[in-house]
Amino acid sequence: MDIAFSKDVQAFRQEVRAFIRTHLPDDIKHRVERGEELDREGHMGWHRKLCQKGWTVPNWPTEYGGPGWSLAQQYVFHDELAFNCAPRLPWYGWDMIGPLLIEYGSDWQRQRFLPPIASGEEWWCQGFSEPNSGSDLASLQCKAVLDGEHYVVNGSKIWITAAHVSDWMFALVRTDSSGKKQQGITLLFIDMRSPGLSRRPIITFDGGHEIDQCYFQDVRVPIENRVGEEGKGWSYAKYLLSVERIGTADVARSGTMLRRLKTIVASERAQGKPLLEDPWFADQIALLEIELKALEVTELRYLFETEAGSDLGPEASILKIRGTEIQQRITELIVDALGYYACPDLRPALWQDANIPAVGPDYAMLASASYFNLRKLSIFSGSNEIQKNIVAKAVLGL
């Protein structure tokens, strides 16, 4: 037993760190640190640099343009991105579409869709949830009927993260409703510019626009955009949930948030002293940091316990539950630590001018908005209740 990374991996960490520190633009770093949403252009300024280095699809094998990294290297890479306040890689492309197509895609699909993910030219969104199918995803009703060389899609998808900035959606649609609800589901790639596809922004209560509802009216999807076989969509979706995904626990992002919290309590003052010396705050932070430490070692244990890493099964649920609880708790403590300066709402001003100065300390600027926004963590990607159901069934055998 040895819970340290090897010398090689540690050297690799230094290399990644040096690269990020040299190339990550200050303004992007600052915006990530504040908890701001980056627009696509903001992302791309950084993504192009990563791409030149060949580092945008860390989990892909070299034949598809990946760097061919070991699991430990991938872990350390994401760790360093988070530690240094670099943006996350654009959603869904590298972590979902890549593994999906490598496992189940056709040659044409791999050639067509993988390169623009690596380069950042094409962004993806996930079209699973529907107004009447949330936790009970398999009950989905958005319908696709084969008509010659096309599927004709009708229905609606809701809560779609980043639909308004995406080029493609991978969508679960119903092609057959005669059997069990898990059967008759098909996975399609839908061009977001397709005629008949319309969108409505959904504003979340923190004031942000990151999700949309999409409506499909006779949207025609070429048959070559179907992944794998018709009617097997549910098993592909399950595969996507099971592919080993580093960062389910989001430990490093939480670590960065926790450092921010510590900076805040060191600067804020109460009773003539830094808030840091308030025993209640000091203990709350220490307890949270201990939880995070336990989660970090647990994630590493699950990833590296078996040789070459095993697929995370229901263990991923534990990481998700505890990881999101910790992140939510950190945002609560940040709001608590700020006292009155948690109250000004600067988002409207920020939308007009990204360089707007803060009222009060800069770190207070989006603190409440982040707190509100991160309530989503325990709802999406399978709510925490659903995750507990999964563990109860798959691990506890209940």
Ligand X SMILES: Cc1cc2nc3c(=O)[nH]c(=O)nc-3n(C[C@H](O)[C@H](O)[C@H](O)COP(=O)(O)OP(=O)(O)OC[C@H]3O[C@@H](n4cnc5c(N)ncnc54)[C@H](O)[C@@H]3O)c2cc1C
Residue 128 near ligand X by CB under 6 A: yes
- Strand 273-274, strand 209-222: pairing: unpaired
Q: Which is nearer to other proteins, 300 or 379 (CB)?
A: 300
CA distance 206 to 212: 15
Name the binder of 134 from ligand X, other proteins, none, CB < 5-8 A by kind.
ligand X
CA distance 282 to 44: 39
Rounded to a whole number of angstroms, the minimum distance from the CB of residue 167 to ligand X is 15
How much is the CA Rg of the chain, to the nearest whole Å?
Answer: 22
The SS3 of residue 64 is helix
Name the binder of 148 from other proteins, ligand X, none, CB < 5-8 A by kind.
none
Residue 362 near other proteins by CB under 8 A: no
Rounded to a whole number of angstroms, the minimum distance from the CB of residue 317 to ligand X is 13
Segment interacting with other proteins (CB under 8 A) among 48-56, 150-158, 233-241, 314-322:
314-322
Segment interacting with other proteins (CB under 8 A) among 48-56, 125-133, 182-190, 251-259:
251-259
Which candidate, 181, 173, 177, 178, places its Cα nearest to that of 223? 173
Yes or no: say if 103 and 61 are a contact pair by the CB < 8 Å rule.
no
Rounded to a whole number of angstroms, the minimum distance from the CB of residue 268 to other proteins is 17
Q: Which is nearer to ligand X, 5 or 159 (CB)?
A: 159
Rounded to a whole number of angstroms, the minimum distance from the CB of residue 380 to other proteins is 19
171 exposed, middle or buried (CB, 10 Å; 0-12, 13-18, 19+)?
buried
CA distance 173 to 166: 19
Residue 129 near ligand X by CB under 6 A: yes
Rounded to a whole number of angstroms, the minimum distance from the CB of residue 285 to other proteins is 8
Checking phi first, is residue 178 left (phi over 0); if not, alpha (psi -120 to 50) or beta? alpha
CB atoms within 10 A of CB 197: 20
Among 110, 356, 380, 391, binds ligand X (CB under 6 A): 380
Among 126, 248, 284, 331, binds ligand X (CB under 6 A): 126
Residue 283 near other proteins by CB under 8 A: yes
**Chain residues 254-273 in contact with other proteins, contact rule CB under 8 A:** 255, 258-259, 262
Rounded to a whole number of angstroms, the minimum distance from the CB of residue 245 to ligand X is 15
Name the binder of 322 from ligand X, other proteins, none, CB < 5-8 A by kind.
other proteins
Residue 136 near other proteins by CB under 8 A: no
Residue 164 near ligand X by CB under 6 A: no
Yes or no: say if 174 and 139 are a contact pair by the CB < 8 Å rule.
no
Per-position x/- string for 58-97, each x denoting binding to other proteins as judged by CB under 8 A, each - no binding: --------------x------x---x--------------
Segment interacting with ligand X (CB under 6 A) among 19-27, 34-42, 79-87, 127-135:
127-135
Encoded tokens for 144: 């696709």
Can you give the length of the chain in residues? Answer: 398
Q: Which is nearer to ligand X, 194 or 378 (CB)?
A: 378
Residue 305 near other proteins by CB under 8 A: yes
CA max distance for the chain: 76
Read off φ and ψ for residue 214, nearest 5 degrees: -115, 140
Which candidate, 326, 278, 292, 302, places its Cα nearest to that of 391? 302
286 exposed, middle or buried (CB, 10 Å; 0-12, 13-18, 19+)?
exposed
Residue 19 near other proteins by CB under 8 A: no
Q: Which is nearer to ligand X, 163 or 285 (CB)?
A: 163
Amino acid code (one letter) for 244: E
Q: Which residues pair with 220 in a beta bridge?
A: 152
Name the binder of 285 from other proteins, ligand X, none, CB < 5-8 A by kind.
other proteins
Stated as kind and residue range, the H or E segment containing 306 is: none
Burial per residue of 62-94, b for 16 or more beta-carbon CB atoms within 10 angstroms, e otherwise: eebbbbebeebbbbbbbbbbbbbbbbbbbbbbb
Binding-site ranges for ligand X (CB under 6 A): 125-129, 134-135, 159-161, 211, 376, 379-380, 383, 385-386, 389
List residues near other proteins by CB under 8 A: 1-6, 9, 72, 79, 83, 255, 258-259, 262, 282-283, 285-287, 289-291, 293-298, 300-301, 304-305, 318, 321-322, 385, 388-389, 391-392, 395-398
